[in-house]
Amino acid sequence: MKRLECLDGLRGVLAVYVLLGHMAPFAILPGWLQQAVSHGAAAVHLFFALSGLVIVQSLDRVGGRAAPFLLARAGRIFPVYLPVLAFAIAVEPLSCGFQAMPWLNWTSPAHSICVSGWPSTWLAEIAAHLTMTHGLFPEAILPDVWVSFLGSAWSLSAEWQFYLLAVLVPRRWLLAALLALAAGGTAWRLCGIAEWQFSRAFLPNQAHYFALGVASVGLVRRQAKAGVAYALVLLAALAVTASLGVVEKMLPPLVWTGFLLVQVAPFTRSMRIGHRLLASPACLWLGALSYCIYLVNEPIHKVIGALFAAAAQGDGGTFTLLWVPGSIALPIIAAAALNAWLERPALRWVRRSVDRRFPAEDGGCAQLSS
């Protein structure tokens, strides 16, 4: 099947949007601009929908077999994740430099993005991150473990839970299983005990987004009645997000639907323009770096934020002039290096290794690590 270049470009746009959302609260910027990039969680929800689409296609390439799929997923995730996690752990005790940022008050989102101090349950939290289980603990057991050390890694735990579900549940039941999990997660959020609530990194709290991606496979493949099935899943996703009581939470399913139409049916001039932009070399390049950008930006921001604040000597304007270009360029440069030196070599090695163990004529794993 033809590669979905438009959705590859979408990865890059989403990763940069998350980066901007982590950058903006520290700078002196117009309120409208701060608000425009303050929906990083929504961008991650779109990543989940994209993952639902990609993972189903990856599983289909290996005939639904768990071993080659999970080995390839591990090779896709861990070679970059482990060194970035180690870097994040190393800089965890460092100050964020807030004492030199008098323009930020204690209600600023910056204080929730950058946190200093060593958690008392650090050994359990590191173990949870290494095993990708940090999304499975309710607040009563390990409070805030889902965002400790490397905040962006919360989504990886949700992803791994989805991978395991995808190999344990037959393909024909996967969509129903995700919708059932979404319904259960919604019921527990509305009726469950407060201290035993789960974080955003718990699969039932995100299952409706993965379901959107799974339902998108039929549209991409132009299968009969795929539109009806997708519409029903979209309505279910909108119902789950509506239960949150915030209108803007309903936007990710609608935005995903728009991007999907741009990919499969760009029937208006604006959609065709959007398709060309997302499939442009710049967006595709950022898409190739997207995983590295997403992971590395927060720990880099912590280090350079304190340095820039000290250099600015309490002047918010000077800090902003240093911070805005530096906090955007340096994570992208670091991501390019990680992509060249770790991510791409690891992907090549994984493809060769898995193909040797699971030959193409027996299922294969060609292009599995998309």
pLDDT higher at 2 or 34: 34
- Residues whose CB falls within 8 Å of the CB of residue 68, separated by 6 or more in sequence, listed in order: 62, 354, 357, 358, 363, 364, 365, 368
Residue range 190-219: mean pLDDT, rounded: 96
Distance separating alpha carbons of residues 302 and 309, to the nearest angstrom: 11
Closest of 109, 106, 103, 111 to residue 320, by C-alpha: 103
Residue 9 CA to chain centroid, in angstroms? 15
Residue range 10-35: mean pLDDT, rounded: 96
Longest CA–CA span in the chain (Å) reads 64
Mean pLDDT in the chain? 93
pLDDT higher at 119 or 232: 232
Predicted local confidence at residue 190, as pLDDT: 95
Query: What percent of the chain has pLDDT above 70?
Result: 96
Please report, for residues 78, 155, 203, the alpha-carbon distance to residue 290 in angstroms, rounded to integers and kept in the order given: 15, 14, 22
Q: Is the pLDDT of residue 150 over 90?
A: yes
Q: Is the pLDDT of residue 274 over 70?
A: yes
Confidence of residue 50 (pLDDT cuts 50, 70, 90): very high
Confidence of residue 247 (pLDDT cuts 50, 70, 90): confident
Q: Is the pLDDT of residue 366 over 70?
A: no
Predicted local confidence at residue 146, as pLDDT: 95
Q: 3-state DSSP call for residue 292?
A: helix
Confidence of residue 5 (pLDDT cuts 50, 70, 90): confident
